[in-house]
Amino acid sequence: MDTIEYLSPCGILHLAATDGKLLMCDWADSPRHRRNLGQLNQGEMDYDVISCAETQLDEYFSGRRHRFDIEVSPAGTPFRRRVWECLAEIPFGGTMMIRLRSLTKVNSLQPHIQPPTIRTILTASSPSG
């Protein structure tokens, strides 16, 4: 599946959508971008979703939007999907301290659906917690 380029104030984002769901919102210069492109399922681009995503991204980058309401369908294992769902629940400007060793790896594999923002603070943890 091809992607649509969105020029944000922070760089180029690649967007992909099909069947009413956003599949990708990923930085074009990300080291994982090529792998994420390979994870996209084949289908016809849903330009209505892309248009909605572009509008919401414009609002986000202008400071008028703090939460996205586009239905998403990121690729990943059930565990990774649960982690991303939890990350998405952190409110705009909020932080959360967690003790999950694999979060860094899980989050690095996400074909970012939301613009990546610094919202999570990882704490050093030992097996004994």
Taking only the tens place, the pLDDT of each residue in 104-114 is 555 555 554 54
pLDDT at 118 over 50: no
Closest CA to 40 of 78, 72, 80, 74: 74
Residues of the chain with pLDDT > 90, as a percent, come to: 22
Q: Judge contact between 51 and 6, C-beta under 8 A.
A: no
Q: Looking at residue 58, what is its pLDDT?
A: 96
What pLDDT sits at residue 129? 37
CA distance 76 to 128: 28
Residue 16: CB atoms within 10 A of its CB come to 25
Residue 50 CB partners (closer than 8 Å, separation 6+): 4, 15, 17
The arithmetic mean of pLDDT across residues 80-100, rounded, is 74
- Mean pLDDT, residues 105-124 taken together: 48
User: Minimal CA–CA distance to 107: which of 92, 129, 85?
Assistant: 85
Q: What is the mean pLDDT of the chain?
A: 74
Q: Is residue 23 within 8 Å of 76, Cβ to Cβ?
A: no
Tokens of 68: 């996205």
**How confident is the model over 6-56, as pLDDT tens digits?**
999 999 998 988 889 988 888 888 777 666 666 666 678 899 999 999 999
Please give the pLDDT value at position 1.
65
